[in-house]
Amino acid sequence: MLELIKNTKIDFMGKKKIAFIFSGIISIIGIIAIIQIATGKANLGIDFAGGTAIQLKFEKPVVLHDVRKALEDGGLKDFDLQDLPTVNKILIRVKNTEQKLGQTSSEATGILSRKFSDNKYVVDSTTEIGPKVGGKLRADAAKAIGVAVLGILAYVAFRFKFNFGVGATIATFHDVLAVLSVFYLMGHEINLILVTALLTIAGYSLTDTVVVFDRIRENMKVRHKEPLESIMNASINEVLSRTIITSLTVLLTSVALFFFGGEVIHDFALAMIMGVVIGTYSSIFIASPTVLLWGRKKTFARRP
Amino acid sequence: MKKRIQWRFILIGATLMLAAVFFLPNTPFFKEMPDWWTKNMPDKGITLGLDLQGGIHLVFEVEGEKAVEITTERMAQSLKDILSKKKLNTEITSKGLLITVAPSSMEIRKAIEDNYPVLTPVETGTNIVYKISDKEAKRIKDNAADQALETIRNRIDQFGVAEPTIHRQGTNEIVVQLPGIKDPKRAIEIIGKTAQLEFKLVDDVSPVAAEIPATAAPGEEDAVLKKFAEKIPSDDEILFEKKVNRETGVVRKIPILVKKQAALTGDLLKEAKVNIDSSRSGFPYVSISFNDAGAKLFDEVTAANVKKRLAIVLDNTIYSAPEIKERIGGGNAQISGSFSMEEAKDLAIVLKAGALPAPVKMLQNITVGPSLGTDSIEAGKMAGIIGTLLVVIFMIVYYRLSGVIADFALVLNIILLLGAMASLNATLTMPGIAGIILAIGMAVDSNVLMFERIRDELRAGKTPRAAVDSGYKKAFWTIFDSHVTTLITAAVLFQFGTGPIKGFAVTLSLGVAINLFTALVGTKTVFDLILSRRDVGKLSI
């Protein structure tokens, strides 16, 4: 039997103070990031901020990859590429910066003229574009998140206890906020792909937390004379090998995406890698301690 | 015991077959299939989203100037009401962007400018000509584009194109990208209809009404309008009813004299749906219902005009002009005309989604490649395959034979998920793929949970069969809880989310549901099979 983790007896709950301080800080940064995003001050992608669309018609067919590389080497940042293959056209969407419409487009076309000197092109149109994700979509998303939180809270409270629901919700939010705060601090672009990654992370984190809770509930039934804190410690240690192995497999996929997935998926993979690490950490150091703080000792889980 | 395993195998086999049948249209083999198959079996499969396969790229221009004109006309109408209530006698006419008030007095001017400060006088004298201020005109245009965006989004959502991209471009353009749809013409028509629904009373009493010809050939409309332009009363207009002969397909236009001012407009609509008229050999019609305010108004209008005809006008074309036989309360009405089922459906869609604040004009209709870029997709595919292989290998190394079983469950999962998506004709996009990744992650997790449990039981000294059984039993509720919580999130996202978020929700919820099946039935069956064959002394885990 190949084993990575053997019987451990780590005092996880004893480290809750350090964990809370650490998580408090990244959560606050995460909240600041959300405020900055809501007020449009963060580095928002074209999906959210809008930008400039430049349509070019080439004489000969062009390879999208070459254009992407040329623009990147030329120092253009935050752009999307789409080709209109039947007519040798490409559509470049560049995010709005402080630059004016004309500047952005001349910068892009300047780079391409230099790189594609043997394939002439004409600029079909240059227009200002609005965000793909408008106000209504954002409001819908906010509503969805609110209802989802209530749903999870209700289910976990029903299956376990109310304070377990609080613990699961807080841990999930914590993970999303943490990844968001890292992206914000690194100045990475906040776009739809990141939002997708955050949703995926929330799903992963929730699963992870519920698995730990389940073991706690099971142990509470057998060892109900012990203090909750030691039951929690024992439970986390018991599921530790599962936690590590699951995290490892998800990490494997994410790392593969990170290294081989190309530029567009790069940020998604990066978010996933961070999400897995943070999700694992939070299911151990945040979810259960929160339950402990919220409910004190009177908590006994309901039978399934 | 053995029999039960057999049945479970059959169940797994059947679901696999079903998935394969649904997914077949997405494979190159579909072209090779015999005719009877392509005709009778599912033929849609999974649609790839805009980000993965591209689609059609449409650019519409919102004619903001028209929105200002419409607003001008509305202001003129309500000014008439306001002034007549104040017993101020004057004639108000609106033409294009101008409202002419003749004659005017200080009192009239004050009343107008108090009510509509946005009106600025451009000509003063005994007659006064007003125009909406430039600032207000700009606001109206801007608003029209925003509103048009929302309306178009609603229409496309109801039309059922999944995963469209819709955004504003410049000041008055709207870009709509639809992933590979089969009937772009119909989509374009649905987007382009202004859908200004009005109910206008037919003027049969005016002497001019009798002079109007009974029918006009297509193309002759302008001639008719010109001929009567001078004769008709100032608050009347001529509109045409389009009649199509169902057998011959010949189109006739019937000119009808109607009141210019609408008795009721479509913004008071609550619902519109298609019904079949069983008495008239199954012709479809659109039944509409008004909201409370609309129902009240409809009740009043029909009560006051019994025996008169009421024209149902959509985008200045009369659909039908039935006689009001009796007062109609309750706020229900129907639009019957000579349209096909498809036309009726499209009409219901545009009515439900509301009118465009101004007409739109299509500027561009081109086919575009994937927005993620062909290169990115190739890279993503490669990475996905590598990632999956790594997991597969890891499971075998770590859990040996049991790892093989987990990998079997993983493959089963992917096939069933693709089949389920194909059966729903779902659209697969990048967020959708993220959902699949999460679902696969959860599939592996379920197996790890069970295997770790089984290992625990083995360590406690149980026999392999007992260890497997109690391991499954103990892991069951954990797996159940973690899946249900994920399912709740997915369901909520599906309900409230739009576009990409919805795609994520669809794949995730399908993945979670399928995973419950493969984790609890799929792998267990294989274990049972191994353990029932011979007396297994050791379990490879």
Q: What is the pLDDT of residue A296?
A: 56
What are the structure tokens assigned to B347, written together? 């009409």
Q: How far apart are the C-alpha atoms of B138 and A117, rounded to whole Å?
A: 43
Find the CB nearest B497 among A4, A144, A215.
Answer: A144
Cβ neighbours around B87 below 10 Å, total: 6
Measured between beta carbons, the chain B residues lying within 8 angstroms of A148 are 488-489, 492-493
Burial of A195 (0-12, 13-18, 19+ CB in 10 A): buried
Q: What is the pLDDT of residue A299?
A: 46
The chain A residue lying nearest B390, using CA atoms, is: A252
Q: What is the pLDDT of residue B1?
A: 53
The amino acid sitting at B202 is: V
Q: What is the pLDDT of residue A101?
A: 61
Q: What is the pLDDT of residues B529-539, one digit of tens each?
A: 888 776 667 77
In the DSSP assignment, the letter for residue B201 is E
Given a cut of 50, is residue A153 above it in pLDDT?
Answer: yes
Q: What is the pLDDT of residue A302?
A: 44
Average pLDDT along chain A? 85
Contact A193, A272 (CB under 8 A): no
In sequence order, the 6+-apart residues with CB closer than 8 A to the CB of A189 are A43, A44, A45, A78, A95, A267
Look at residue B197 and give its three-state secondary structure: strand
Q: What is the pLDDT of residue A177?
A: 94
Contact B284, B340 (CB under 8 A): yes
Does B382 touch chain A if contact means CB atoms closer than 8 Å?
A: yes
Find the CB nearest A82 among B368, B438, B484.
Answer: B368
Work out the average pLDDT over B426-434. 82
Cβ neighbours around A299 below 10 Å, total: 17
**In chain B, positions 453-482, which contact chain A (CB-CB < 8 Å)?**
455-456, 474, 477-478, 481-482
CB contact under 8 A, B449 and A137: no
**pLDDT, greater one: A210 or B32:** A210
Q: Which alpha helices (H) appear in B305-429, and where do they start and end?
A: 341-353, 374-423
Q: How far apart are the C-alpha atoms of B311 and B313, rounded to whole Å?
A: 6
In sequence order, the 6+-apart residues with CB closer than 8 A to the CB of A185 are A29
Q: How far apart are the C-alpha atoms of A71 and A77, rounded to whole Å?
A: 8
What are the structure tokens assigned to A102, written together? 């004309």
Find the CB nearest B376 among A87, A249, A264.
Answer: A264
For residue A304, give how far its alpha carbon lies from the nearest alpha carbon of chain B (Å): 8
CB contact under 8 A, A195 and B541: no
Q: What is the pLDDT of residues B237-251, one digit of tens each?
A: 899 988 877 777 788
Q: What is the pLDDT of residues B154-206, one digit of tens each?
A: 888 887 777 788 888 888 889 898 887 767 788 888 888 888 888 899 988 88
Given a cut of 80, is residue B453 above it in pLDDT?
Answer: yes
Measured between beta carbons, the chain B residues lying within 8 angstroms of A192 are 431, 500
User: Measured on CA atoms in the order B217, B220, B221, B226, is the torsion positive or negative?
Assistant: negative
Q: What is the pLDDT of residue B496?
A: 75
Q: What is the pLDDT of residue A79?
A: 83
For residue B255, give how far its alpha carbon lies from the nearest alpha carbon of chain A (Å): 42
Q: How far apart are the C-alpha atoms of B426 and B47, rounded to whole Å?
A: 6
Torsion of CA B517, B522, B525, B527, to 10 degrees: -120
The number of CA neighbours under 13 Å toward the Cβ of B505 is 21
Q: What is the pLDDT of residue A239?
A: 92
CB contact under 8 A, B488 and A155: yes
Find the CB nearest A256 among B387, B488, B495.
Answer: B387
Find the CB nearest A214 among B368, B373, B481.
Answer: B481
The chain B residue lying nearest A192, using CA atoms, is: B500
In the DSSP assignment, the letter for residue B68 is H
Cβ neighbours around B106 below 10 Å, total: 7
**pLDDT band for position A301 (cuts 50, 70, 90):** very low
Q: How far apart are the C-alpha atoms of B541 and B536, rounded to whole Å?
A: 13
Find the CB nearest A206 among B166, B486, B492.
Answer: B486
**In chain A, positions 6-35, which contact chain B (CB-CB < 8 Å)?**
none
In the DSSP assignment, the letter for residue B462 is -
Q: What is the pLDDT of residue B404?
A: 93
Mutate to test the interface with B, among A160, A265, A266, A283 (most CBs of B within 10 A): A265
Look at residue B42 and give its three-state secondary structure: coil
> To 5 degrees, how large is the angle CA A167–CA A172–CA A175?
125
The chain A residue lying nearest B476, using CA atoms, is: A214
CB contact under 8 A, B387 and A252: yes
Q: How far apart are the C-alpha atoms of B485 and B503, rounded to whole Å?
A: 18
Does B452 touch chain A if contact means CB atoms closer than 8 Å?
A: yes
Given a cut of 70, is residue B498 above it in pLDDT?
Answer: no
Does B165 touch chain A if contact means CB atoms closer than 8 Å?
A: yes
Does A224 touch chain B if contact means CB atoms closer than 8 Å?
A: no
Measured between beta carbons, the chain A residues lying within 8 angstroms of B508 are 203
In sequence order, the 6+-apart residues with CB closer than 8 A to the CB of A265 are A193, A257, B376, B379, B380, B383, B430
The chain A residue lying nearest B436, using CA atoms, is: A200
Q: What is the pLDDT of residues B6-31, one digit of tens each?
A: 888 888 999 999 999 898 888 888 88
CB contact under 8 A, B380 and A304: no
Work out the average pLDDT over B45-65. 85
User: Measured on CA atoms in the order B489, B495, B500, B505, is the torsion positive or negative?
Assistant: positive
Highest mean pLDDT among A38-42, A76-80, A103-107, A286-290: A286-290
Work out the average pLDDT over A150-178. 91
Q: What is the pLDDT of residues B110-164, one digit of tens each?
A: 888 888 888 888 887 778 888 998 998 999 898 888 888 888 888 888 877 777 8
**In chain A, positions 24-83, which contact chain B (CB-CB < 8 Å)?**
50, 53, 63-65, 68, 80-83
Measured between beta carbons, the chain B residues lying within 8 angstroms of A256 are 383-384, 386-387, 390
**In chain A, positions 196-215, which contact chain B (CB-CB < 8 Å)?**
196-197, 199-200, 202-204, 206-207, 210-211, 213-215
**In chain B, positions 134-163, which contact chain A (CB-CB < 8 Å)?**
149-150, 153
Q: How far apart are the C-alpha atoms of B349 and A81, rounded to whole Å?
A: 33
Average pLDDT along chain B? 84
Q: Which of B456, B446, B468, B515 is closest to A219 using CA atoms? A: B456
User: Is the entire prediction scored with pTM above 0.80?
Assistant: no
For residue B27, give how far its alpha carbon lies from the nearest alpha carbon of chain A (Å): 23
**In chain A, positions 114-133, which contact chain B (CB-CB < 8 Å)?**
127-132
The chain A residue lying nearest B474, using CA atoms, is: A218
Q: What is the pLDDT of residues A217-260, one digit of tens each?
A: 999 888 888 888 899 999 999 999 999 999 999 898 889 888 88
- Strand positions, DSSP E, B180-290: 197-201, 236-244, 251-259, 264-265, 269-277, 283-290
Given a cut of 80, is residue A285 above it in pLDDT?
Answer: yes
Contact B457, B470 (CB under 8 A): yes
Does A193 touch chain B if contact means CB atoms closer than 8 Å?
A: yes
Q: Which alpha helices (H) appear in A61-134, and where do they start and end?
A: 64-73, 101-115
Considering only the C-alpha atoms of chain B, give the largest distance between any 2 of them, rounded to a whole number of Å. 110
What are the structure tokens assigned to B333, written together? 């009405």
The chain B residue lying nearest A197, using CA atoms, is: B434
Q: How far apart are the C-alpha atoms of B257 and B253, rounded to whole Å?
A: 13
Given a cut of 60, is residue B286 above it in pLDDT?
Answer: yes
